[in-house]
Amino acid sequence: MLASEKIIGFVPITDAARAKSFYAEKLGLKFVSEDSFAVVFDANGTMLRLTRVEELKPQAFTILGWQVSDIVATVQQLQAAGVTFERYGGFMQQDELGIWNAPGGTRVAWFKDPDGNTLSVSQH
């Protein structure tokens, strides 16, 4: 029923100005609008609503990710914009850029937004 409909992404935020700056300036998303409920971006044709919340306990898992064609170039561009990539110990051995090579061949790198939400870029 919904397979042919557009999806909308929602990310909780506590500070609209800080989130707006991060998503526009560091990630390069196109700002659309802002109201008392959300800051809205166009993420390559997908509506992304940064929803204002009073309190936020960031989850330990990825809540939003981008599939990219060249993860190395993307990570380098994001780093140049000031994005810091996460380092995880244990079984997840990451390269010098913070990219993990999954057993199935997918490559993933994680970073956090100003509210501590875990975001990712991946190449499949």
Do 49 and 11 contact (CB within 8 A), yes or no?
A: yes
CA dist., res. 109 & res. 86, Å (int): 7
Looking at residue 92, what is its pLDDT?
Answer: 85
Tens of pLDDT, residues 40-54:
999 999 999 999 999
Looking at residue 118, what is its pLDDT?
Answer: 98
What's the mean pLDDT when you consider all of the chain? 96
User: If pLDDT is split at 50, 70 and 90, which confidence band does 116 have?
Assistant: very high
Mean of pLDDT values over 68-97: 95
User: If pLDDT is split at 50, 70 and 90, which confidence band does 80 have?
Assistant: very high
pTM: 0.94
Q: Which domains does the chain carry?
A: 8-123 (3.10.180.10)
Tokens of 39: 């800051």
First to last CA, the chain: 27
CA dist., res. 4 & res. 20, Å (int): 29
Do 99 and 45 contact (CB within 8 A), yes or no?
A: no
Looking at residue 89, what is its pLDDT?
Answer: 80
Strands 107-112, 100-101: pairing kind: antiparallel
At a CB cut-off of 8 Å and minimum separation 6, what does 120 contact? 62, 64, 65, 66, 108, 109, 110, 111
